[in-house]
Amino acid sequence: MVDVILGLQWGDEGKGKVVDYFASHYDIVARFQGGPNAGHTIYVNDKKIVLHQVPSGIFKPHSQNLIGNGVVLDAVSLKEECEAIASFGVDFRKSLLISDRTHLILPTHKALDKASELSKGNEKIGSTLKGIGPAYMDKTGRNGLRVGDIRNKNFVSNYIRLRLKHQKLLDNFSFNEDISAEEEKFFEALEFMRSLEIVSGEYFINDALSKGKKILAEGAQGSMLDIDFGTFPYVTSSTTIASGVCNGLGIAPNKIGTVTGVTKAYCTRVGGGPFPTELHDEDGELIRKKGNEFGATTGRPRRCGWIDLVALDYACMINGVSQLVMTKADVLDDLPVLKVCESYKIGGKETRQVPFQMDKLTIDPVYKSFKGWTSDISQINDYKKLPPEMLSYIDYINKKLGVQVKFISNGPGTEQLISAS
């Protein structure tokens, strides 16, 4: 079976940490979508590393790590990431595999991302500018170059052809930054990539499944950033939800096992777009400070707000979430009052559904208030020892969502995860 760990909000839920915690129970960890827009933080021997494209199982001695076909891959960023991993004494060459069907992010994709965002003015998406959208556009437009193509003799001429096409688009945007230095780095990085293990990801995964191996699919971004079901157009360009595992790895739907949804005890978003429970007061500031809510990839401050059960309920529905992990519960330690959004008021009407175009509506969240626990929970490792106020906060969320919080994360350390059973 392929178990899945994915984010239920707008990303940065702590997926990297959760994958790191569970990875030792799996033979293979696989990324199925997204690219270097992701930033998954883990601690290895108390030293922090942020993974962007390499699956978070890379530090487990026994695990193989696959970058699946659904990912868009930046060779330059991959090379840098592999060098960072090697500095931890890990031989990534033994345990990292890349699907030959994975599409490449080209230097011009990054330029196009920038040009597109600039052209949008105030309505910009707030992209990480890693070239994600343009690379997926070339995939669906049937123009993109794939990892397997770098083995072909005509790769450079195909690259130049696509580059010329991109140049015309960049001219239309009146965008004329010199990217020759980046191109040089790109070709160097392709040389590096040729030395890695490139496989037919779909055969690799299905063969492993038939041998009874355990596979963990690691989601990137969050369900509310999904291209179809997120807060479009303020989304990323991939299928971030559980169904993306099938496309992004080449496995059948009946091979999906447990879907673990990761949610923060509150909510954050980085970049533009609607965020009904966003806080613009000192509570929001306190959460940002205590939670160190700054983007792992771009360093941008994350917008912070209360947990949103309307959006979470929606995310549980579209993902078929089997169990929840609640992260960053310790960040709420100092707040005397906590709020949970249980419905939206739109035009005087109350609803528990995520509307079609959130960004075009004025949404007033309807809150239920809870007494905070106002004590340090970061050293607790037994569920029964958690403060009663916290247990009633979780109990309420369990009941509202009809899905159980099975683990509570109370700190960034890998072992700071409390089982509720």
How many other CB atoms sit within 10 Å of the CB of residue 43? 18
* Residue 410 touches which of ligand GDP, ligand IMO, Mg ion, none (Cβ within 5-8 Å per kind): ligand GDP
In 3-state terms, what secondary structure has residue 384? helix
* 35 is an interface residue for ligand GDP by CB under 6 A: no
Q: In the complex with ligand IMO, which residue's Cβ is closer, 150 or 225?
A: 225
Contact pick of 28, 220, 310, 405 for ligand IMO (by CB under 6 A): 220
Contact pick of 6, 8, 12, 414 for Mg ion (by CB under 5 A): 12
Structure tokens at 22: 């569970």
Q: Which residues ranging from 366 to 385 are in contact with ligand GDP (CB under 6 A)?
A: none
The residues assigned a catalytic role are 12, 40
The minimum distance between CB 200 and ligand IMO, in angstroms, equals: 26
- Scanning the structure block, which residue is given the tokens 């052209």? 119
User: Which helix (H) or strand (E) segment is 261 a member of?
Assistant: strand 256-264
> Distance of alpha carbon 157 from its chain centroid, rounded?
34
* 60 is an interface residue for ligand GDP by CB under 6 A: no
Contact pick of 127, 223, 263, 410 for ligand IMO (by CB under 6 A): 127
* Residue 327 touches which of ligand GDP, Mg ion, ligand IMO, none (Cβ within 5-8 Å per kind): ligand GDP
Per-residue exposure over 136-155, b if at least 16 CB sit within 10 Å of its own CB, e if not:
bbbbeeeebbbbbebeeeee
* 130 is an interface residue for ligand GDP by CB under 6 A: no
Q: Which residues ranging from 264 to 303 are in contact with ligand GDP (CB under 6 A)?
A: 291-292, 296
Q: What is the maximal distance between C-alpha atoms in the chain? A: 66
- Scanning the structure block, which residue is given the tokens 């994600």? 132
* 39 is an interface residue for ligand GDP by CB under 6 A: yes
Structure tokens at 143: 């123009």
Residue in 339, 342, 355, 349 with CA at minimum distance from that of residue 401: 342
The minimum distance between CB 127 and ligand IMO, in angstroms, equals: 3
Separation between Cα atoms, residue 183 and residue 75, nearest integer Å: 11
Q: Which residues ranging from 38 to 67 are in contact with Mg ion (CB under 5 A)?
A: 39
Separation between Cα atoms, residue 334 and residue 286, nearest integer Å: 9
Contact pick of 3, 5, 8, 11 for ligand IMO (by CB under 6 A): 11
Separation between Cα atoms, residue 100 and residue 92, nearest integer Å: 18
* 37 is an interface residue for ligand IMO by CB under 6 A: yes
Q: In the complex with ligand GDP, which residue's Cβ is closer, 325 or 341?
A: 325
Alpha-carbon dihedral sign for residues 168, 169, 174, 175: negative
Separation between Cα atoms, residue 364 and residue 119, nearest integer Å: 31
Contact pick of 14, 68, 133, 144 for ligand GDP (by CB under 6 A): 14
Q: In the complex with ligand IMO, which residue's Cβ is closer, 126 or 257?
A: 126
The minimum distance between CB 113 and ligand GDP, in angstroms, equals: 19
* 328 is an interface residue for ligand GDP by CB under 6 A: yes
Question: CB-based contacts of 101: which residues, under 8 Å, 6+ apart?
Answer: 69, 146, 147, 148, 200, 201, 202
Binding site for ligand IMO (CB under 6 A): 7, 10-12, 37-40, 125-128, 130, 132-133, 220-222, 225, 236, 270-271, 296
Binding site for ligand GDP (CB under 6 A): 7, 11-17, 39-41, 291-292, 296, 327-328, 330-331, 409-412, 416
